[in-house]
Structure 1
Amino acid sequence: MPASENAATCPPKRLQSAVIADTLEAEIIAGTLASGSKLDEQALADRFGASRTPVREALQLLASRSLAERVPFRGVIVTQITRERIDMLFETMGEIEATCGRFAAERMTMSERAALEELHQSMGDMANLGSQEDYETANTIFHTRIFEGAHNAELLEVANGLRLKLAPFRKSQLKAAERMKRSNEEHEAIVGAILERNPRATEKALRRHLLSAAKAVLNSMK
């Protein structure tokens, strides 16, 4: 097989910066990297056997997720994750997703509705098999399709920005098999309402879904 053809068929290798960011993200969420900890570029480069460039990019990713911040004269520091902050993030995301859902129920095309239903069905299989990583990836696509289905570019930008900040916490709460199955059951109500073109029911289902996710995250912090 020609090299060009092989490259086209093989899945792209994950960027080193993304791998580093995901590792640090998991450690911050787990508390292994405590708030206030300094994330030194050179120390991290040595740890991951990388140059400082991907490390710098990884730290920028963490900052975009509000897990780290650059402090004058101190460098990049792990931010404090409080129950109050998580509660506010989920509350805000719940309102944004509810609005997206309301619009999506009215504005989604037939093909968009069909694609959402098909994705939801495949996620049911993932949940039953306990395929957490696959479900997590599909879950991001699921919610993004609802954002896009609202057909409002400004709302999409806001929703995606909040999604990035909440992504680490939504990911962590899906690690429990029971929560993954519950999430899929909640998706059933969301998809059903969208297929029935019922804006109010979609809005209500999404608010409940975000509330359920918030409870799972906050309970894990006790």
Structure 2
Amino acid sequence: MSARMSSIRAQDDAECAPFGQDGLRSAAPTLAEKLRGELETAIAAGRLEPGSRLDEQEIAARYGVSRTPVREAFRLLAASGLVELRGRQGAVVRSIGAHALIEMFQVMAEMEGLCARLAARRITPAQMDKLRAIHEKLEQVATLKDIDLFYDVNQEFHEALYEASANAFLADQTRRLRNQVAAYRRRVTRMPTRISDTLREHAEVIAAIADHDAERAHKAMRDHVNLLGDNLLDFLAAFG
């Protein structure tokens, strides 16, 4: 059993005593929240595909916990839009129709565009260096033809942008929406020109932020995320 699984199992034993000596509930994540995080990561990474059934008993056995926190984790995932609860059928990773996905991408494009706008006004020199370093790393990864690794490093770039916005609420909401569509964004990354387009578009975002041009940064990031023109055609091809 891995150290992470052992930690989760140990917390299952402690869930029966969630209150401290002062009578207040601990601020530490609950067991269900930790399980939710594990499953959310698996969904975002594509290890759990849309439409996949989540086996309550198998997950409980895998993490060495009772089924109660697993059920609660499913409810948390359903509340965040990642899972559907289907009564006796159990929990299923949410599948999203093409029309709904396009709408979600439109909203996400505006949210990430706002992150870029704020970053252009608020970014620190250290954060600017970090953004450039991740972009250089992404350029190197692109030569390896490893799409999954490219996708993961690309997420680092977006996370760095959220951080540079200096707006924790915006970053959290953008991240939540991104996780809902992560499996589909990963598909788009596999389209023939997507990697080269991503590098070019990231460079435009970086240049605008470095110039502290909020309007240009917003537009560059919004267009990067939004499904317009060839991006929309690529998406529909990948979705099909």
Bin for the TM-score computed over the shorter chain: 0.7 to 0.9
Measure the CA separation in 2 of the matches of 1:157 and 1:126. Answer: 27
Match status 1:196 vs 2:217: no
**Aligned with 1:85 (options 90, 100, 118):** 100
Moved more, 165-174 or 103-112: 165-174
Counterpart code for 1:135: F
RMSD, aligned CA:
3.4
Instruction: Indicate the SS of the match to 2:166.
Output: coil
Q: Relative to structure 1, is the Cα distance of residues 202 and 54 closer, same or farther in structure 2, using a 3 angstrom cutoff? A: farther
Measure the CA separation in 1 of the matches of 2:139 and 2:128. Answer: 17
Task: In structure 1, list runs of 5 or more residues that go unmatched.
Answer: 1-11
Instruction: Indicate the SS of the match to 1:69.
Output: strand
Match status 1:220 vs 2:220: no
Task: Compare the two structures and name the one with the higher helix fraction.
Answer: 1
Q: Which residue of 1 aligns with 2:62?
A: 50
Q: Which residue of 2 aligns with 1:7?
A: none
Q: CA deviation at 1:186?
A: 1.1
Give percent identity, aligned residues only: 25
Moved more, 212-221 or 178-187: 212-221
Measure the CA separation in 2 of the matches of 1:76 and 1:193. Answer: 43
Instruction: Indicate the SS of the match to 1:66.
Output: coil
Q: Relative to structure 1, is the Cα distance of residues 54 and 25 closer, same or farther in structure 2, using a 3 angstrom cutoff? A: farther
Instruction: Indicate the SS of the match to 1:129.
Output: coil
TM-score, reference length from structure 1 = 0.74
Q: CA deviation at 1:77?
A: 3.2
**Aligned with 2:138 (options 123, 129, 132):** 123
Counterpart code for 1:217: F
Number of matched pairs:
202
Q: Relative to structure 1, is the Cα distance of residues 198 and 122 closer, same or farther in structure 2, using a 3 angstrom cutoff? A: same
Q: Deviations over 1:80-123 (max 9, x none)?
A: 42011111110110010111110101110111111111211111
Q: Deviations over 1:59-84 (max 9, x none)?
A: 56864763422244542134342011
Q: Relative to structure 1, is the Cα distance of residues 28 and 67 closer, same or farther in structure 2, using a 3 angstrom cutoff? A: farther
Instruction: Indicate the SS of the match to 1:151.
Output: coil
Counterpart code for 1:181: S
Q: Relative to structure 1, is the Cα distance of residues 138 and 125 closer, same or farther in structure 2, using a 3 angstrom cutoff? A: same
Q: Which residue of 2 aligns with 1:95?
A: 110
Measure the CA separation in 1 of the matches of 2:45 and 2:151. Answer: 18
Instruction: Indicate the SS of the match to 1:50.
Output: helix
TM-score, reference length from structure 2 = 0.70
Moved more, 63-72 or 87-96: 63-72
**Does the Cα contact within 8 Å between 1:128 and 1:181 map onto a contact in 2?**
no
Match status 1:21 vs 2:42: yes
Measure the CA separation in 2 of the matches of 1:23 and 1:195. Answer: 30
Q: Which residue of 1 aligns with 2:23?
A: none
Q: CA deviation at 1:51?
A: 5.3
**Does the Cα contact within 8 Å between 2:105 and 2:227 map onto a contact in 1?**
no
Q: Deviations over 1:30-69 (max 9, x none)?
A: x6x4xxxx54323x459xx735749938856864763422
Measure the CA separation in 2 of the matches of 1:69 and 1:155. Answer: 25
**Matches for 1:1-222 after TM superposition, within 5 Å:** 18=38, 21-22=42-43, 25-26=46-47, 28-29=49-50, 33=52, 38-42=53-57, 44-45=58-59, 50=62, 53=65, 56=70, 59=74, 63=78, 66-176=81-191, 178-212=193-227, 215=232, 216-222=234-240
Q: Relative to structure 1, is the Cα distance of residues 221 and 167 closer, same or farther in structure 2, using a 3 angstrom cutoff? A: closer
